[in-house]
Structures are given as C-alpha cells and as structure tokens.
Amino acid sequence: MRVSRTFIAAAAAASLLLAGTGAAVAAPADDTASAAPLLSRFDNGSFEYPVVTPGRFVELPAGQTIGPWQITSGSVDLIGAGFWQAAEGDQSVDLSGGTAGTIAQTFTTVPGTTYTVTYALAGNFGGAPTVKTGKVLIDGQNFQDFSFDITGKSATDMGYVYRQFTFVATATATTLSFVSTTASAHGPVIDDVTVTTCPPCNSCG
C-alpha cells in the first residue's frame, strides 16, 4: 500500500507513517516479532491484535507476524480501525502491502476430521487493478482461487462477500495460507477468518 492511494491521501493525510518508517502500533513490539508462536488452536481470524493506531495501517514484510499469523512472502498491510470498513471487529488485512504478500497460520487439527474455512473478502479500492485476485492454500495446496471487483466500493462500503471451503486434516497440524496474486500495492482484503469442525451433514460437502 503506497501513499499514492486515493483514500490514504484523503483520509490519512500527512499523519500516516509509511512503509519506510512504519505506522505506530499500540501493542507491544513483541507481538510483531519474528519469533514463531506456540502451536495452538486457530486464532485471531479478524486480525484484532496487535492493535494498529486508529485511522492508520502498518506494512509488515516477510518474517513479521500478526499474532499467530506469519507473513511468509512479500508484504501485507494490517489496517487499523476506521481506515476503512471491517467485516468483523475493527481491523482487516490487505494482502498486498508494497508488493503481493502471503500470510499463514499453523494450528492443531485432528487427522481425518473435516474442517470448514470461512472468510470475508473485499478489495483495496484505492488503485488498480479493478479486480483483485488471490488464493487460499492448505498445507501448500491450492484449495480455492478468489477474485473481487472493487467497482463502486468505498471506505464505508467495502462490499465484503463471504467465501467458504472444506478440507480434511491429514496431520495433527495444518497450515492455512492466504496469497495475493495481485501485482499491485492495492490488493485483496480479508477479514473474519474462521476454521470450524464440520459435522457430518450435506452442507459441508
């Protein structure tokens, strides 16, 4: 995400700290340290911590974290409250920071169990391309491609849509990754990611 974005110029103005200097983050620096968190249940699906100063964003390059999420390639932007509409809670993630990025979280699973991944999808309306694209991986395997058209969208009307898919765990740990395939600083936006066990029912097929 760069200062050329229309919304940044209009809403964040000179108070916005950019990628070279970093935006102020209210949470302790350790929350975005490079050390990997302990493996546990899936968490922080709405990217609520660390807390970014309201009205701002922070660009995080590969090797940094958003709670249990790891930035594994490129860079992403963690968007603070009020910068634009979130699908759930206050914060969201633009999967393209200065370049297309990838975030991943590894969590405990039960082999043979079916899980449902649900997430809210939108796009950074501040610049091209009009259609943002990306994909979701499970343990490195592409499970779902996604795209989002930003036509008519705005900071107060991001137009989030919900996407869903299921997978069967093959090990006691599974890695979920979201990848931007948008070669731009204005990428797909995700929020409200959930991972739940799926009961044996037709709706999970």
The pLDDT confidence band at residue 130, using thresholds 50, 70 and 90, is very high
| Residue range of the domain that includes 173 | 6-204
The whole-angstrom separation of Cα 52 and Cα 130 is: 27
CB 111 within 8 A of CB 174: no
Q: Is residue 194 part of a domain?
A: yes
Q: What is the pLDDT of residues 161-190, one digit of tens each?
A: 999 999 999 999 999 999 999 999 999 999
Number of domains, the chain: 1
More confident residue, 11 or 65: 65
Tell me how far the alpha carbon of residue 39 is from its chain's centroid.
19
Helix, strand, or coil (residue 15): helix
Of residues 60 and 8, more confidence is placed in 60
* pLDDT computed for residue 202 by the predictor: 54
Q: Is the pTM of this model over 0.85?
A: no
Do the domain assignments include residue 198? yes
Handedness of CA 63, 66, 68, 70 (dihedral sign): negative
pLDDT > 90 in the chain, percent: 76
Distance from C-alpha of 76 to C-alpha of 70, rounded to nearest angstrom: 10
C-beta separation of 69 from 104 below 8 A: yes
Inside any domain, residue 161: yes
Interval 90-103: pLDDT, tens = 999 999 999 999 99
Residue 1 lies in a domain: no
pLDDT of residue 87 exceeding 80: yes
What is residue 27's DSSP assignment?
S
153 in a structural domain: yes
Q: What mean pLDDT is predicted for residues 80-91?
A: 98
Evaluate whether residue 69 is within a structural domain.
yes
CATH number at residue 30: 2.60.120.260
What's the mean pLDDT in 188-195? 97
Q: Is residue 128 part of a domain?
A: yes
Q: What are 86's strand-pairing partners? A: none
Q: What is the pLDDT of residues 39-59, one digit of tens each?
A: 568 999 999 999 999 999 999
What gap in Å lies between CA 3 and CA 106, rounded to an integer? 33
pLDDT in tens, 105-125: 999 999 999 999 999 999 999
